[in-house]
Structure 1
Amino acid sequence: MEEQKQVPKLRFVEFSDEWKDEKVGMLGTFKGGGTPSTNNSEYWQGETPWISSSVIKENDIHNINISRYLSELAITESATKVIPKGSILFVARVGIGKVAVANQDLCTSQDFANLIPRKDDSYYIAYYFISKSKLLFQYSQGTSIKGFTSGDLKSIPINIPTLPEQQKIASFLSSVDKKIAQLKQKQGLLEDYKRGVMQQIFSQQLRFTDENGNEYPKWEEKRLGDVLKIGSGKDYKHLTEGLIPVYGTGGLMAFVSDYLYEGESVGIGRKGTIDKPVFLEGKFWTVDTLFYTHSFKNVLPKFIFYLFLLINWKKYNEASGVPSLSKGTIEKIIISFPSIEEQTQIALFLSAIDKKIAKIQTQIDKTQTFKKGLLQQMFV
């Protein structure tokens, strides 16, 4: 029986050589990291970048957010070391599984195991481990804080194609990552624009006019309790499974057979996360930690949603421990309201921006799914 060749399911047509089995320890040398004392200000006034594991993002090997820099004295007098550009940075604890490639010479904390490759493509190696994200967890040890060492990494098997094929794979996947980054940047700019324009709208620096170009009436101050009512969520565990969504402060929780309210509404946290309003519509159920609005008087639910996004809810927090709000506190908040006609224009304008943001998110999700499929098929 012919032995099956070590090749991936998805491969560029110009390559046919079998992939070789190696150990990570054969690919280069390892350097660790360290954290200089934060009590010595002289250590943190230099030009050499220093990173902790928190700045490495999951499934993103290219972008490292650098905000701290070390002096030569810090490097000389501490356990940290300069890691050369092109090294593969493995988060060995407090975020196991995250991998990045150093885009410049830098230093890392002790939470990293850093591989300086001899000849293989750094980005290929990084993508390989992104594709095998669960592999690093298998080598982690410890009870309270799990982690692995460079010694553990050295023993991990890795499949290696020729250098040209490595570079081709890395370049292709990098182009997909670049597309995702561009979409996220576009989405971020839209979100920034939305925040800015909302500030202008609700401070009345930006006003809408009617179809004849005439100004709408002046905004009137009212208590929230005068224009809507606050409903309380309830436990849902006695209900059978169904098609009605159940929401909590963290979002969608379950689907049940009954509903608490039907129509457009705005959910606002009663306890826990109190500053993340959510627009609700149709039939739904909310749990005890999520209030919902109803019985609107001369206000549009969608307008209320955008208004709630701008309220500093933490200012109304009534607890010293877990953040909490009460119906009474919400109802007493005084807000300026435009006419129902201007509310309609505001809601339509902001909804149009939200649709553009959601469309980009759909593109991001599709591209990330495409990338996930590539990672599953382009490596042995």
Structure 2
Amino acid sequence: MGRLGKFQAIVTWEQRKLENCITSSLGGGTPNTTILDYWKGTLPWIQSSDLTLDDLHSYRVNKYITEKAISKSAAKRVPAYSMAIVTRVGVGKVVIPKTDYSTSQDFVSLVGLKAEQNFLLYAVYRILRHLSDNTQGTSIKGITKKNLLESEVVLPANRQEQTMIGRLLSKLDNTIALHERKLELLKELKKAYLQQLFPKNGDKTPRLRFAGFTDNWVQRKLEDILTVSLKRNSDNLFTRKDVLSVSGEYGVVNQIMFQGRSFAGKNLENYHVLQQGGIVYTKSPLKNNPYGIIKANRGKTGIVSTLYAVYQVKDNSIPELINFYFEINSTVNNYLRPLVNKGAKNDMKVRDTDVLKGKIIWSEDLNEQTEIVNLLDRITSLIAVNEHKLDSFCELKQAYLQKLFV
């Protein structure tokens, strides 16, 4: 295992059962929900949905109960700074409330922590993750209280080392939380710009414009901007390494790099060639896009399934702007809905040419198109940078958990 600073030369770590690291444990319960007076108290009553998996330091409180509710049900008053662990619905969630609380029957609370609280919190979190990793592919119903308390914990005998490890991991979690919030704000900013930089239904101009652009946008059919591409991989110039997938979140991506392997068949001759800057319509439903999605290929030229429709962009428009225009779910859904008929197997019944019959409000000024794309690209790049930073911190946390705990 890894060690911190001056403790590297010290080898005294102890192995204990979790039950020997606490004074006692308490279960929970749900007071009668038909007796409203039970739910007008001041004691927080926590349920599994109030916690978030992998967030060890925050939780919501939506319900409060009375002392009478406790006396008339299986609910318990749990002392502040106990550890609340979800052992049934939502297995793996854990937090240490800083006030007295009560829980539903889905929890076991560890009372009287005999080790430094943050260290023990992460030790238990590691136990729960280990249990989850060992049950991949199975339907885990929960953890018994007996199995939880008999779990082995390895901890430094030196309380100061426990404190340093717990503090390190807590600071790392705080950093992760800050980056998550920053990333959320950047995504909200991009969404706001997408809504402001394109005209609403019935409007002839966007609500937000760059200086120097005053002309009205015009209504155009998509066929005024795109043409159907007939280019196929007939000469087998492209191989399985060049097969592209289309993601609602990430756009056009290399299938092997994105999904780990190619799902293409052996014969690729009829696959569509999707040029860099080309447009693809997937003709397959997604959760938020029941009629499929429309994306621009901003990467290398490759090939896509024959189920997709591929288009080229005319000289009057910038491919990237088409990508941003259809990035808002409501926009692409409203555009495709009147054009697409769904089959019995939820497949899209629409010809490639008919996809272009819909109307959009569009800027005919290439300079304005460029300004919009440049702004949205800058925000998109900031999002990507912060996603990479967040991933790095999360990987660092997992590395520490593996090295600092057995």
Farther off after superposition, 104-113 or 365-374: 104-113
The separation in 1 between residues aligned to 2:76 and 2:372, in whole angstroms, is: 55
Query: How far apart are 1:333 and its partner, in Å?
Result: 3.9
Aligned with residue 146 of structure 1, among 128, 141, 147: 141
Counterpart in the other structure of 1:305: 323
Code of the residue aligned with 2:102 in structure 1: it is C
Counterpart in the other structure of 1:5: none
RMSD: 3.7
1:91-102 matched pairs, under 5 angstroms: 91-102=86-97
Counterpart in the other structure of 1:219: 217
1:184-333 matched pairs, under 5 angstroms: 184-203=180-199, 204-209=206-211, 214-228=212-226, 241-247=240-246, 252-253=258-259, 254-255=261-262, 260=272, 261-265=274-278, 270-273=283-286, 274-275=288-289, 279-281=296-298, 282-287=300-305, 293-296=311-314, 298-312=316-330, 313-314=332-333, 327=350, 331-333=356-358
Counterpart in the other structure of 2:12: 18
Relative distance call for 1:356 and 1:68 in structure 2 (3 A) is same
Say whether the 8 Å CA contact 1:113–1:149 is kept in structure 2: no
The separation in 1 between residues aligned to 2:306 and 2:240, in whole angstroms, is: 18
Secondary structure (helix, strand or coil) at the match of 1:309 reads: coil
C-alpha offsets along residues 294-316 of structure 1, whole Å, 9 cap, x if unaligned?
Answer: 44462222111211122415556
Farther off after superposition, 118-127 or 75-84: 75-84
Structure 2 regions of 5+ residues with no counterpart? 200-205, 233-237, 251-257
Query: How far apart are 1:153 and its partner, in Å?
Result: 0.8
Query: How far apart are 1:334 and its partner, in Å?
Result: 2.8
Code of the residue aligned with 2:398 in structure 1: it is K
The separation in 2 between residues aligned to 1:198 and 1:99, in whole angstroms, is: 38
The separation in 2 between residues aligned to 1:218 and 1:369, in whole angstroms, is: 49
Secondary structure (helix, strand or coil) at the match of 2:317 reads: coil
Counterpart in the other structure of 2:162: 166
The separation in 2 between residues aligned to 1:148 and 1:334, in whole angstroms, is: 56
The separation in 2 between residues aligned to 1:241 and 1:364, in whole angstroms, is: 32
Say whether the 8 Å CA contact 1:299–1:340 is kept in structure 2: yes
Aligned with residue 79 of structure 1, among 66, 74, 80: 74
Aligned with residue 359 of structure 2, among 320, 323, 334: 334
Say whether the 8 Å CA contact 2:275–2:297 is kept in structure 1: no
Query: How far apart are 1:98 and its partner, in Å?
Result: 3.3
Query: How far apart are 1:108 and its partner, in Å?
Result: 2.8
Counterpart in the other structure of 2:235: none
C-alpha offsets along residues 309-329 of structure 1, whole Å, 9 cap, x if unaligned?
Answer: 224155565669997765478
The separation in 1 between residues aligned to 2:87 and 2:308, in whole angstroms, is: 38
| Structure-2-length-normalised TM-score | 0.75
**In the comparison of the two structures, how many residue pairs are matched?**
363
The separation in 1 between residues aligned to 2:314 and 2:32, in whole angstroms, is: 57
C-alpha offsets along residues 22-55 of structure 1, whole Å, 9 cap, x if unaligned?
Answer: 1111122222223445556555554443333344
Structure 1 regions of 5+ residues with no counterpart? 1-7
Say whether the 8 Å CA contact 1:32–1:114 is kept in structure 2: yes
The separation in 1 between residues aligned to 2:47 and 2:161, in whole angstroms, is: 32
Query: How far apart are 1:173 and its partner, in Å?
Result: 0.9
Aligned with residue 180 of structure 1, among 172, 176, 179: 176
Code of the residue aligned with 1:359 in structure 2: it is V
Counterpart in the other structure of 2:379: 353
The separation in 1 between residues aligned to 2:165 and 2:110, in whole angstroms, is: 20
The separation in 1 between residues aligned to 2:207 and 2:322, in whole angstroms, is: 19
Counterpart in the other structure of 1:4: none
The separation in 2 between residues aligned to 1:297 and 1:39, in whole angstroms, is: 67
Secondary structure (helix, strand or coil) at the match of 2:110 reads: strand
Relative distance call for 1:139 and 1:344 in structure 2 (3 A) is closer
Say whether the 8 Å CA contact 1:33–1:108 is kept in structure 2: yes
Code of the residue aligned with 1:336 in structure 2: it is I
Farther off after superposition, 190-199 or 151-160: 190-199
The separation in 2 between residues aligned to 1:133 and 1:184, in whole angstroms, is: 23
The separation in 2 between residues aligned to 1:41 and 1:331, in whole angstroms, is: 58
Counterpart in the other structure of 1:363: 389
Code of the residue aligned with 2:5 in structure 1: it is F
Query: How far apart are 1:76 and its partner, in Å?
Result: 4.3
Secondary structure (helix, strand or coil) at the match of 1:110 reads: coil
Counterpart in the other structure of 2:405: 379
The separation in 2 between residues aligned to 1:35 and 1:289, in whole angstroms, is: 52
Relative distance call for 1:59 and 1:262 in structure 2 (3 A) is same
Counterpart in the other structure of 2:58: 63
